[in-house]
Structure 1
Amino acid sequence: MQGRVTILYFASLREQLGRECEDVSLTDGQVPVQTLVSDLRSRDKALDGVFAAMPRIRVAINQELASFQDTVKAGDEVAFFPPMTGG
């Protein structure tokens, strides 16, 4: 099963890429975020540079904090953002 995933970029990631979102196709019905990131990095040099800092990047799937080992499926929204400090 193939489908599309909406990807959102926030804060400094959005600024580095010059875009806030994009839709991408999944080649499999369900893939780990790590696989999705690898696919993104292989097709876009700007994304490769952004994700080079991956240990510091956070991810959310459908507005819930997730890990790079969690899976995404068609119709999901995946958001990437830098770590935030708060107080």
Structure 2
Amino acid sequence: MARFTKGQCQPCPFRTRCTTSRKGARNVGFPPRELRDLQIRVRAEQQTPDWRARYAVRSGWRAPSTSSPMGTAPAAAAAAAGDSRRPTCSTSSRPSP
């Protein structure tokens, strides 16, 4: 943890980008080095075309559920079993009671 006093923060030209504190002081936390190294590595990997292609399939934004091999069967089975926690195809945005 680093603490920057009002005297250090006030003259800084980037203060408005860093804090909105009226007192002008700023506390900054730093993650452990292992976590920071992991974040850097994972964020770099997320910029690769291969990662983006795998994520697009996983997130489902490129393929509608009807084009998947299972179709809408999992959602229909959950609805038939009375599992209201799973979303079903309906025009209502509210879960069924």
TM-score, with structure 1 as normaliser: 0.19
Per residue, is there more strand in 1 or in 2?
1
- The structure richer in helix per residue is 2
Question: Bigger radius of gyration, 1 or 2?
Answer: 2
- For normalisation by structure 2, the TM-score amounts to 0.18
Higher RCO by CA contacts (8 Å cutoff, separation 6 or greater): 1
